[in-house]
Amino acid sequence: MNATSTPPDGVGVAGKHLAPCPDSPNCVSTEAIDPGHAIEPLPLADTDQRTIEMIASAVSSLPGSRSVLTKENYLHAEFRSPWLRFVDDVEFLVDSEEGVVQLRSASRVGRSDLGVNRRRIEEIRSRYEAALRAIALRQDKSVATTGENSMPDEIDEFEIVEKTDEQWRAQLTAEQYHVTRKHGTERAFTGPNWDNKAAGIYSCVCCGLPLFSSETKYESGTGWPSFWDPLKETSIETKTDVSFFMRRTEVHCRRCKAHLGHVFEDGPEPTGLRYCMNGVAMRFDPAAKDKKVTSDAQDEH
């Protein structure tokens, strides 16, 4: 039907199924999969290609990921132990007809702790499913805001927004301007949303670009909204900041360069990162479900 319904000839693929890898002594047949790896299949994104891209992104962010080969609807990832005592493989094949992703893992060199690969796969699954939910949230949001006077959702994410200092001053409150355009920092526990637990999307207060999802927000105890991952890698940019005699990594909006906060390496798994953001630098849009409650309440007046 489409090009992707025919799996590519490649490592570990035969016909429509994952097959034994030719160079994997521990992986001589599909029956050789350790029962510990037998986990239920993953759901699909909107297209095969998108599914593979999102799995690849989840895989590449894990420690020990050394090479990722993607081929239309197939992905092969390799994980090495620091001393090369083992090489683990994880493979994914999109099966459009069944509407699932086939998954297989094996240890190619030496014998890894199979529990490690099992946890690794669970981690890939959880990162991939979080990304799927973030997309669903964005779609909810775009439905919920259609026809309202909010910023259009069809904004071009890749068009850089540039304004003069005067224009920013006119558009923003004094505090928003100070933080986003002058690299300011709000005082802890004083800004909006540091303790917000509602489902939704956090967007740039200057240009409206969606930046973070409630899916990756967590309670850091710092008094600033904290996340372990941006909504998309392309939403933000980072830069080394050496002000105040400290070496920190500054985070800004990729589209309009608004200063948002800093990223530190003491965050929770799976990324180990803590995106410590200023609440005033972002606008929070509740997900459709929460939003409905709000508008119903307003209708009564």
Q: Is 134 in the site for Zn ion (CB under 5 A)?
A: no
Q: Are 84 and 109 in contact (CB under 8 A)?
A: yes
Identify the residue whose tokens are 């909204």.
225
The minimum distance between CB 257 and Zn ion, in angstroms, equals 7
Q: Is 276 in the site for Zn ion (CB under 5 A)?
A: no
Options 204, 236, 277, 288; binder of Zn ion; rule CB under 5 A: 204
Strand, helix or coil for residue 100: strand
Q: What does the block give as tokens for 29?
A: 């047949």
The Cα–Cα gap between 152 and 208 comes to 9
Q: Is 256 in the site for Zn ion (CB under 5 A)?
A: yes
Instruction: Determine the straight-line distance between the first and last CA of the chain, rounded to whole angstroms.
Output: 54
Q: Is 205 in the site for Zn ion (CB under 5 A)?
A: no
87: part of which helix (H) or strand (E)? strand 87-95
Contacts of 274 (CB under 8 A, 6+ apart): 220, 226, 227, 228, 263, 264, 265, 266, 267, 268
276 catalytically annotated: yes
| 105 vs 176 by CB, closer to Zn ion | 176
Helix residue ranges, H only, 109-150: 114-145
Q: How far, CA to CA in Å, does 133 sit from each of 141, 142, 191, 225, 231? A: 12, 14, 27, 20, 11
The window from 44-52, 124-132, 248-256, 279-287 that contacts Zn ion (CB under 5 A) reads 248-256
| 55 vs 205 by CB, closer to Zn ion | 205
Options 27, 54, 59, 206; binder of Zn ion; rule CB under 5 A: 206
The Cα–Cα gap between 175 and 18 comes to 56
Of 207, 253, 256, 276, the active-site residue reads: 276
The minimum distance between CB 246 and Zn ion, in angstroms, equals 24
The minimum distance between CB 160 and Zn ion, in angstroms, equals 10
Q: Is 172 in the site for Zn ion (CB under 5 A)?
A: no
Verify cis geometry, omega within 30 degrees of 0, for the bond prior to 270: yes
Q: Is 77 in the site for Zn ion (CB under 5 A)?
A: no
The window from 32-40, 132-140, 169-177, 246-254 that contacts Zn ion (CB under 5 A) reads 246-254
The minimum distance between CB 165 and Zn ion, in angstroms, equals 15
- For residue 99, give the amino acid letter: G
Options 131, 258, 260, 282; binder of Zn ion; rule CB under 5 A: 258
Q: Is 18 in the site for Zn ion (CB under 5 A)?
A: no
Determine how β-strand 282-286 pairs with β-strand 274-277: unpaired
Options 77, 90, 207, 273; binder of Zn ion; rule CB under 5 A: 207
Enzyme catalytic residues: 276
Judged by the rule CB under 5 A, the positions of this chain that interact with Zn ion are: 204, 206-207, 209, 253, 255-256, 258
